[in-house]
């Protein structure tokens, strides 16, 4: 007799627009015949980050229907509003207080639009034993997994997911003022850790397009997490020992507005040192060099801005500081 998992699909109202139109999404649950942990996985909290959505579709097709111990809850489109706009944030007219949904967790049923949407999803996420929040960065970002610094159980999840780079992000009293000013304590991963729920944020490369390498990494990583927890049988498919770094806010910013030309020799994953030449910002009309961009720390280059038109204060290069262990 086959002991298959039970799949249930639920349409959930996250909030309502002024016209009364409901903002809805679909929550999938896969529950096995054996006891085990509950794992919550969501994608497309930022609507242009759609590789995680494809990851969950493939898991739906490939997820074994036997010997599942516990429960997987999957939300392929966590934010329908930004998904439809292929955007990172919601228009100000809909939520001028909290345009970024990943700054309001665990949400508030009496709050702004995004707070209400987060609160509706938190009824699932907050009951889970583990949370995986799938994101996708720009094409010029090294795939990595973020976990909360000092949270050992979350670090174990990040290691199991299996990206080559892990970023330990300080939070609370350990975080810099900039971190608090940008509302990062309202991220789903941070809110989960604060509630004692291990959580990770895999950042798969590429947005706005389904890219096979990114999707394969996401599928393999999510299956690794399920195997690590015993929800699925089998061994974690581990890669090489990951690099662990800190300072998720390790930005090298534009001092002036203009056109940014990265140093042609700069590559993702490259070790850089203080004073290294990272590129130039120049005046598009006069050709005057406005900034010789230099690295301000020793570390690992994990993101490079490829959109050449930049404003003062925009991020040009992201550099993470390796953790000595």
Summary mean pLDDT of the chain: 93
What percent of the chain is helix, strand and coil (3-state, nearest 5)?
25, 30, 45
pLDDT of residue 278: 98
In eight-state DSSP terms, residue 3 is -
pLDDT given for residue 64 in this prediction: 67
pLDDT over 80 at 238, yes or no = no
Pairwise CA distance, residues 289 & 118, whole Å: 45
Q: Span 155-167, mean pLDDT?
A: 96
The dihedral of CA 210, 212, 217, 221: what is its sign? positive
Q: Output the CA–CA distances (angstroms, integers) from residue 62 to 10, 66, 220, 249, in the order listed.
A: 20, 12, 11, 36
pLDDT of residue 312: 97
Question: What's the pLDDT score for residue 139?
Answer: 84
Q: Does the pLDDT at position 3 exceed 70?
A: no
What lies within 8 Å, CB to CB, of 252 at 6+ separation is 278, 293, 294, 295, 296, 315, 316, 317, 318, 319
Per-residue pLDDT at 55 exceeds 70 = yes
Per-residue pLDDT band at 138 (split at 50, 70, 90):
confident
Burial class of 15 by CB neighbour count within 10 A (0 to 12, 13 to 18, 19+)? buried
CA R_g for the chain: 20
Residue closest to 165 by CA, chosen among 239, 101, 105 = 239
Number of CB atoms found within 10 A of residue 220's CB: 16
Peptide bond into 180 cis (omega under 30): no
Q: What's the pLDDT score for residue 325?
A: 59
- Mean pLDDT across 16-21: 95
Residue 33 in tokens: 């015949």
b vs e for 299-308, b when ≥16 Cβ sit within 10 Å of the residue's Cβ? bbbbbbbeee
CB atoms within 10 A of CB 149: 20
Give yes or no for residue 78 having a pLDDT over 60. Answer: yes
The string of DSSP codes covering 95-162 is -SS---GGGSTT--TTS-HHHHHHHHHHHHHTT-SEEEE-EE--TTB--EEEEETT-HHHHHHHHHHT
pLDDT at 35: 92
Average pLDDT over every residue of 91-102: 93
The whole-number pLDDT of residue 1 equals 39
Residue 229, pLDDT above cutoff 80? yes
pLDDT tens string 177-192: 888 888 899 999 999 9
Task: Count other C-beta atoms under 10 Å from residue 252's C-beta.
Answer: 22
As a whole number, mean pLDDT of residues 86-100 equals: 93
Which has more confidence, 176 or 261? 261
Widest pairwise Cα distance in the chain: 76
Structure tokens at 131: 């949370």
pLDDT reported for residue 246: 85
Copy the structure tokens of residue 230: 């015993």
The dihedral region occupied by 210, where left means phi > 0, alpha psi between -120 and 50, and beta the remainder, is beta
Q: Quickly tell me which residue has 């429960």 as its tokens.
A: 71
pLDDT at 144 exceeding the cut of 90: yes
Three-class SS state of 18: coil
Please report the pLDDT score of residue 126 as a whole number: 98
In this prediction, residue 237 carries a pLDDT of: 87
Check residue 178 and give its pLDDT.
84
Mean per-residue pLDDT, 42-50: 97
Residue 255 CB coordination number (10 Å): 14
Count of other CB atoms within 10 angstroms of residue 273: 10
Q: How far apart are the first and last CA of the chain?
A: 49
SS (H, E, C) 54-108: HHHHHHHHHCCCECCEEEEEEECCCCHHHHHHCCCCCCCCCCCCCCCHHHCCCCC
pLDDT, position 150: 92
User: Tokens at residue 63, please?
Assistant: 């997820």
């Amino acid at each position: 007799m086959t002991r298959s998992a039970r799949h249930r699909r639920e349409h959930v109202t996250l909030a309502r627009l002024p016209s009364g139109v409901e903002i809805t999404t679909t929550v999938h649950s896969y529950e096995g015949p054996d006891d085990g942990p509950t794992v919550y996985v969501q994608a497309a909290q930022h609507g242009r980050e759609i590789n995680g959505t494809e990851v969950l579709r493939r898991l739906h097709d490939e997820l074994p229907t036997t010997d599942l111990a516990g429960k997987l809850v999957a939300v392929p489109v966590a934010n329908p509003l930004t998904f439809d706009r292929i955007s990172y944030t919601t228009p100000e007219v809909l939520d001028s207080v909290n345009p970024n949904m990943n700054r309001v967790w665990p949400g508030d049923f009496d709050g702004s639009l995004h707070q209400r949407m987060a609160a509706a999803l938190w009824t699932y996420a907050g009951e889970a034993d583990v949370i995986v929040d799938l994101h996708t960065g720009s094409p010029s970002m090294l795939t990595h997994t973020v976990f909360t610094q000092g949270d050992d159980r979350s670090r174990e999840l990040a290691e199991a997911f299996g990206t080559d780079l892990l970023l330990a992000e300080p939070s609370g009293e350990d975080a810099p003022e900039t971190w608090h000013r940008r509302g990062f304590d309202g991220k789903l991963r941070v809110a989960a850790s604060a509630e004692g729920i291990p959580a990770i944020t895999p950042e798969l490369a590429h947005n706005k397009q389904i890219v096979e390498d990114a999707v394969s990494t996401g599928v393999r990583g999510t299956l690794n997490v399920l195997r690590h927890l015993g929800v699925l049988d089998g061994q974690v498919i581990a890669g090489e020992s990951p690099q662990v770094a800190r300072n998720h806010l390790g930005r090298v910013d534009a001092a002036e507005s203009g056109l940014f030309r990265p140093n042609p020799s700069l590559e993702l994953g490259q070790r850089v040192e203080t004073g290294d030449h990272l590129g130039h910002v120049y005046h598009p009309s006069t050709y005057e060099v406005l900034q010789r961009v230099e690295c301000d720390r020793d570390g690992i280059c994990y993101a490079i801005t490829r959109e050449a038109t930049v404003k003062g204060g925009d991020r040009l290069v992201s550099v993470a500081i390796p953790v000595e262990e």
